[in-house]
Amino acid sequence: MDLTDSSQTDWWRRGVVYQIYPRSFADSNGDGLGDLAGIEAHLDHLQDGTAGSLGIDAIWLSPIYPSPDFDMGYDVADYVDVDPRYGTIEGFERLVAACHARGLRVILDLVLNHSSSRHAWFTASRAGRDGPYADWYLWRDSPGRTLTGKRRLPNNWRSFFGGPAWTWEPAREQFYLHTFLPEQPDLNWRHPPVRAALLDVVRTWRDRGVDGFRLDVFNTYFKDAQLRSNPRRVGGRGAWSWQRHVNDRNQPELAGALADLRRLVDEHPGGMTVGELFDGKLQDAAGYVAPHHLIFDFTLIGLPWTAAAFGGAIAARDAAFRPDRWPANVLSNHDQPRHAGRYDGPSGDARAKVAATLLATLRGTPFLYYGEELAQRNLVVPNAVAIDPPARRASFLFPWWNRDQARGPMAWRPGPGGGFTTGDPWLPLSPDAATRNVETESTDPGSVLSWYRRVIWLRRATPQLQVGDQSIVDTGDRDVLAYVRRTEGAAAVVALNFADRPATIRLPSGVGAAPGWALALSTQGRDPGTPLPAELTLDSNEALIAIGS
């Protein structure tokens, strides 16, 4: 497939993106850690051109760069190389070619707010106040001493991972800033050589065939030029929330930097970015959206499992993103508890199918997290044995959910190692991996995997589910969320029963004679093509999609 064809350049609106956490997807060499060759070996699961695959349009790879793993790859030691544990540049280029041959785009995670403290740039910068790299990071003198003789910090900013955002460097006799771990020093985006170097990273990967980027914590690139302290606030969990973070993110200079970065991405047809809005509001997210440059606002993550909660959040989002801003929809990722576990209920996997339907049919681009198609649950990993570094320091002042629990290995088949590895996996497989795996679920038409395949392929065949306008409709039952997606002359209605009971609902008028709806898919196995009455009863936890006729 020619991915540069003009008819393919709006794939970011029509398609589905699949996030791969590389160390947990598939291990090709038995060392217990997933790798690029393992990903390549399983591409047919994602897209083989038939309904036997998921029907994915792009993969997003969490960081694959060389890293000492103080933050599991989000501390980058070399921006333009591949960590040897995952493979080589040549192996990466083979993976890109294999993806493109299947019509799959490749999106890389870009971590441009901070580098690793072991990056050569920081090694040179921390050595002294002179030299070409002296100003590549945010260094400041101590403003004096406390009454007990301790050095005062430059301001009151906190690290998101606990403690002050400043660490003393004896070699320079200055503090440096780190929004996250001390091993993740923040880069100085106001220094022209830094900006040029980071934009060159974008150019390098685009030239290697990468189609787009996920921008890690992009709204923290710039801090207040005067480094003024944040105003204090009352309430919230943990010291981070005891400030209003107005001076350490969302600065005016960000717009120009994003424009430069996006201009580079746009030099090749079909490019896109999706930015991770860090600790921000819905209105902030909407303000940063541009055509084929999306923003995660995480509106849907963390909602209680009720139709009212989702309906209210979707309505607020639609209002913020209209008329032409395009949302990025996500229910799980590498930092958050898996939604199949969050929404688990007495009906087993039924809610996971409802959630899959929601994600695949809402206005916006769906982003799936690996294992989501199996309704993979969280692992149980106590903080005391966590690999996730912040989890080992969790406390009352620093509440932290151990992210290891959302990063468990993918199960491909029954048996030892679950098809993920022939060795010892870096994290344990889920306890139910013997039954919750790709091979087993592929043979079960009632499985969550089979439902994901059907609903994604229906989306691919239905333009109104891809690019249509959206309006929430009242069905007459508070536990049912329903919305209509419309393009000119075509419509689809989606009805989602969030309750563990049947619900009788009214359908809105279709595009022709009322009610004008023919069933396309139902989680309860109703016959496709059946005309639907104006009033019908949904089973408990049923998701239903109908097409206007």
Taking domain 6-115+192-220+254-382+424-456, whether its CATH number is 3.20.20.80 is answered by yes
Q: Cα separation of 50 and 456, whole Å?
A: 12
Any residues with CB less than 8 A from the CB of 79 and at least 6 apart, and which?
65, 115, 198, 201, 204
Nearest by Cα to 424 from 33, 32, 34: 32
Any bridge partners for residue 470, and if so which? 485
Mean pLDDT along residues 238-248? 94
pLDDT in the model for residue 513: 41
pLDDT tens track for 8-39: 788 999 999 999 999 999 999 999 999 999 99
The confidence band for 386, taking pLDDT boundaries of 50, 70 and 90, is very high
pLDDT tens track for 276-299: 999 989 999 999 999 999 999 999
Helix (H) or strand (E) segment spanning residue 17: strand 17-20
Is pLDDT larger for residue 138 or for residue 235?
138
pLDDT in the model for residue 446: 97
Can 267 be counted among the known catalytic residues? yes
pLDDT in the model for residue 397: 81
Any residues with CB less than 8 A from the CB of 157 and at least 6 apart, and which?
164, 165, 166, 177, 227, 229, 230, 243, 247, 248
SS3 197: helix
pLDDT tens track for 146-168: 999 999 999 999 999 999 999 99
Q: Is there a contact between 450 and 428 (Cβ–Cβ < 8 Å)?
A: no
Token code pair at residue 106: 């490749």
- Asked if pLDDT for residue 514 goes beyond 50, the answer is no
Taking domain 469-548, whether its CATH number is 2.60.40.1180 is answered by yes
**Active-site residue among 2, 253, 267, 535?**
267
CA 524 to chain CA centroid, nearest Å: 29
Beta carbons within 10 angstroms of residue 43's beta carbon:
18
pTM (predicted TM-score): 0.97
**Active-site residue among 27, 169, 216, 349?**
216
- Asked if pLDDT for residue 173 goes beyond 90, the answer is yes
Any bridge partners for residue 215, and if so which? 110, 275
Mean pLDDT along residues 461-485? 97
Nearest by Cα to 480 from 498, 506, 504: 498
Nearest by Cα to 293 from 330, 323, 268, 263: 263
pLDDT in the model for residue 237: 80
pLDDT tens track for 43-80: 999 999 999 999 999 999 999 999 999 999 999 999 99
Helix (H) or strand (E) segment spanning residue 215: strand 212-215
Q: Cα separation of 481 and 499, whole Å?
A: 10
pLDDT in the model for residue 512: 47
The confidence band for 510, taking pLDDT boundaries of 50, 70 and 90, is low
Residue-range domain boundaries for the chain: 6-115+192-220+254-382+424-456, 469-548
- Asked if pLDDT for residue 348 goes beyond 60, the answer is yes
Q: Is there a contact between 373 and 449 (Cβ–Cβ < 8 Å)?
A: yes
pLDDT tens track for 198-210: 999 999 999 999 9
SS3 502: coil
pLDDT tens track for 410-438: 999 999 999 999 999 999 999 999 999 99
- Asked if pLDDT for residue 3 goes beyond 50, the answer is yes
The confidence band for 211, taking pLDDT boundaries of 50, 70 and 90, is very high
Q: What is the DSSP code string of 309-366?
A: HHHHHHHHHHHHHTTT---EEES--TTS--HHHHT-BTTBTHHHHHHHHHHHHSSSEE
Phi-psi domain of 406 (left: phi exceeds 0; alpha: psi -120 through 50; beta: other): alpha
Can 40 be counted among the known catalytic residues? no
Lowest mean pLDDT among 131-140, 159-168, 335-344, 507-516: 507-516
